[in-house]
Amino acid sequence: MNYWQAVVLGLVQGLTEFLPVSSSGHLVLAEALVGFTPPGVFVEVVLHVATLGSVLLVYGRRLWELARGLLRWSPDPVRYVVLLVVATIPAVVVGLFFKSAIEARFHSLPSLGVEFIVTGIILWSTRWFSGDRQVPGLGGAFGIGLAQAFAILPAISRSGTTVAMGMWLRMAPAAAAEFSFLLSVPVIAGAALLEGRHATVNLAEVGLGPLLVGFVVSFASGVFAIRFLVALLRRGRFYAFAPYCWVLGILTIVYALWRG
């Protein structure tokens, strides 16, 4: 991977990890367009870890409040953490038992196109759902977790499905976004641990310098994307990303057919 490829991939990952358009799908598509063939999914995981840093920066105060409340066994923080744990379970199960099957089709462009279109449908559906709940119930948290597990497919947006599920459960859009972003912390960290054993081999193939550049670009653009999306959600415009996903899905399928 050279430096300009690293900048492009880092920018794509950072902007699309939190915008509801699927970062993994965009990464796979961007890799195809810039001519970079990744060794496994290590590069994707490193860039995802950079956006994990974005969450830690933007929601650092909220995470500290939860940690302090958990140590003091305060009811509201304890309940919120329990809900995050419940919502994490489906993704852990899917990741452990279906990881190999998913990786085998991770770079299939026709599949990406269909998944982008499905993401658009999910986003469009939020036009008819809104509420003022600040937290989901126990069953709702598990439902958000199922939505996150579904988003293990590369062009199904994790933020899109989890925020949409929160809105379907009548959560306030900003509260649904916060739950979604905090929910990403254990999932991304877990993926990093699983792929960490390949670090030596993949660093030699990718190059440490470009990887660091991609990491920094992904981190910075991730911070911007979180703040932009929360502002958009407060204006009730979450569904506005749906047409983009539909167009991108159709173009991806056409490109895949043209490329053969």
- Domain positions in the chain: 3-259
Helix (H, G, I), strand (E, B) or coil at 40: coil
Beta-bridged to residue 140, according to DSSP, are none
Mean pLDDT of 111-115: 88
Residue-wise pLDDT for 47-57, tens only, equals: 888 999 999 99
Q: Which pLDDT band, with edges at 50, 70 and 90, does 67 fall under?
A: very high
Q: 21, 26, 20: which is closest to 47 by C-alpha?
A: 26
Backbone angle region of 170, left / alpha / beta, with phi > 0 → left and psi within -120 to 50 → alpha: left
Residue 11 CA to residue 24 CA, distance in Å, equals 12
Per-residue model confidence (pLDDT) at position 195: 66
Q: For residue 77, give both structure tokens.
A: 């923080």
Tell me the C-alpha distance between 29 and 102, whole Å. Answer: 16
Query: What is the model's pTM?
Result: 0.86
Chain segment 157-189, per-residue pLDDT in tens: 889 999 999 999 999 999 999 999 999 888 878
Q: What would you report as the CA-atom Rg of the chain, rounded to the nearest whole angstrom?
A: 18
pLDDT (average), residues 89-98? 81
Of 26-40, 41-55, 211-225, 229-243, give the lowest mean pLDDT range: 26-40
Torsion on CA atoms 127, 132, 135, 136, rounded to nearest 10 = -50
Percent of the chain surpassing pLDDT 90 = 51
pLDDT tens column, 221-258: 999 999 999 898 888 889 999 999 999 999 989 988 88
Distance CA 127, CA 121 (A): 11
